[in-house]
């Protein structure tokens, strides 16, 4: 990390950098179970080298930065557009409202809108995200321009042309009912990159065709039935779910508890023009909608996304990338919390963020 962390605000006494070593003190949510321990995290060269239990004089809460497992940030230029429209009218290619707005916008406006969303994501604790990027090669290039000078880790899934695999981290298909993605799947495999696809968002008709493509990641799966769930389990395919988005577009809600019984399930926020890309809001909504523990939901917002595509973050333990979120446990919102993990999931928000440390 070498003192080059991206943080908000500066001057926090809980984070100290000396001679290339950074220490972060407070209540550490350690490991995959987020066991709260008092002590410090030691970081060198962007990697966690130690988690030390020790008495410390700090109200900070230290946890892994979030991994947002599904975004579309290109439509940041059109927040809250299209109220009352159906999902197909909003986002179906090639002429859904989103696609018309993207075509009509100039590049500078698109980049400026994405920069604003990316800055908000960093400030609200997101350390990495998986972006489904429209516009082919040109669309991916615009996102790369927006990412300049930011430390958030983007894994970009391009679409619309196989040439996008030369500049993107993988291919992100819209849905098996939109197009025959057989050639794109083959090209993605040849490139040694992951293939992700939307499935089961409107209905179940595109789930089996999506599964036939042997995807590395499925998105939504709102209408998955028991046979689909078994296939997902047998083929060990992770799923990204976006409950707030599904509610807004009125397609139903994903069977998160059942999905979790069969595979890795990660949280995403989906289109920026439908919902703010806040993992705090996504966690709180999920916590109050499903019968899941706070530990399970925090895992969906952190290490589940990292596990889905092999990122080395999402957990505070030695050897992991030091993508860390520091909350003010003595904020007016969090002071007095009896169960810290539950408070992080159901109560915390951007105003409680003391610092976000990204390599």
Confidence at residue 102, expressed as pLDDT on a 0 to 100 scale = 74
Burial of 269 (0-12, 13-18, 19+ CB in 10 A): buried
- Kindly tell me if the per-residue pLDDT of 97 is higher than 80: no
Q: What is the pLDDT of residues 206-260, one digit of tens each?
A: 999 999 999 999 999 999 999 999 999 999 999 999 999 999 999 999 999 999 9
pLDDT over threshold 50, residue 261: yes
User: Given a cut of 50, is residue 340 above it in pLDDT?
Assistant: yes
Can you give the pLDDT at residue 73?
A: 95
The predicted model gives 25-32 an average pLDDT of: 97
Per-residue pLDDT band at 82 (split at 50, 70, 90): low
Q: Where in the chain is the domain with CATH 2.30.40.10?
A: 15-64+313-357
CATH T-level fold of 15-64+313-357: Urease, subunit C; domain 1 (2.30.40)
Average pLDDT over the chain, rounded to an integer:
93
Q: So what's the pLDDT on residue 81?
A: 72
- pLDDT of 10: 39
pLDDT at position 96 = 77
pLDDT band at 1 (very low <50, low <70, confident <90, very high): very low
Domain with CATH 3.20.20.140 in the chain: 66-309
pLDDT digits (tens, 9 = 90+) for 286-314: 999 999 999 999 999 999 999 998 999 99
Question: Which is higher by pLDDT, 91 or 38?
Answer: 38
> Is the pLDDT assigned to residue 30 strictly greater than 90?
yes
The whole-angstrom separation of Cα 195 and Cα 217 is 7
* pLDDT score for 90: 72
pLDDT at position 22 is 93
Q: What percent of the chain has pLDDT over 70?
A: 96
Instruction: Check residue 339 and give its pLDDT.
Output: 97
| Assigned fold of 66-309 | TIM Barrel (3.20.20)
HEC letters along the chain: CCCCCCCCCCCCCCEEEECCEEEEEEEEEECCCCEEEEEEEEEECCEEEEEEECCCCCCEEEEECEEEEEEECHHHHHCCCCCCCCHHHHHCCCCCHHHHHHHHCCHHHHHHHHHHHHHHHHHCCEEEEEEECCCHHHHHHHHHHHHCCCCCEEEEEECCCHHHHHCCCEEEECCCCCCCCHHHHHHHHHCCCCEEEEECCCCCCCHHHHHHCCCCEEEECCCCCHHHHHHHHHHCCCEEECHHHHHHCCCCCCCHHHHHCCCCEEECCEECCCCCCCHHHHHHHHHHHCCCCHHHHHHHCCHHHHHHHCCCCCCCCCCCECCEEEEECCCCCCCCCCCHHHHHHHCCCHHHEEEEECC
pLDDT of residue 3: 36
């Amino acid at each position: 990390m070498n003192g080059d962390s991206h943080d908000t605000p500066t001057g926090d006494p809980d984070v100290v950098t000396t001679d290339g070593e950074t220490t972060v003190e407070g209540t550490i949510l350690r490991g995959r179970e987020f066991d709260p321990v008092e002590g410090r995290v030691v970081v060198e060269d962007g990697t966690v080298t130690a988690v030390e239990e020790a008495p410390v004089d700090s109200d900070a809460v230290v946890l892994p930065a979030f991994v947002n497992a599904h975004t579309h940030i290109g439509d940041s230029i059109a927040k809250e557009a299209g109220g009352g429209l159906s999902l197909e009218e909003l986002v179906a290619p090639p002429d859904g409202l989103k696609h018309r707005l993207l075509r009509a916008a100039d590049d500078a406006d698109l980049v400026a809108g994405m920069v604003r969303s990316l800055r908000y994501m960093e400030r609200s604790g997101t350390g990495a995200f998986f972006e489904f990027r429209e516009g082919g090669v040109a669309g991916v290039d615009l996102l790369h321009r927006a990412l300049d000078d930011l430390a958030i880790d983007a894994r970009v899934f391009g679409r619309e042309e196989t040439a996008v695999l030369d500049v993107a981290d993988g291919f992100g298909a819209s849905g098996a009912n939109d197009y025959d993605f057989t050639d794109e799947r083959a090209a993605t495999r040849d490139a040694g990159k992951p293939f992700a696809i939307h499935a089961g968002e409107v209905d179940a008709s595109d789930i089996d065709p999506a599964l036939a493509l042997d995807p590395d990641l499925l998105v939504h799966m709102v209408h998955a039935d028991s046979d689909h769930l078994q296939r997902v389990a047998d083929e060990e395919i992770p799923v990204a779910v976006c409950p707030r988005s599904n509610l807004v577009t009125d397609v139903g809600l994903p069977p998160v508890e059942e999905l979790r019984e069969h595979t890795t399930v990660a949280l995403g926020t989906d289109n920026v023009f439908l919902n703010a890309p806040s993992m705090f809001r996504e966690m709180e909504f999920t916590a109050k909608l499903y019968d899941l523990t706070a530990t399970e939901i925090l895992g969906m917002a952190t290490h589940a996304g990292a596990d889905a595509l092999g990122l080395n973050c999402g957990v505070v333990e030695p050897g992991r990338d030091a993508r860390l979120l520091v909350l003010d446990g003595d904020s007016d919102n969090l002071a007095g919390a009896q169960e810290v993990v539950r408070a992080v999931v159901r109560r915390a928000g951007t105003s409680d963020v003391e610092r976000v440390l990204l390599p």
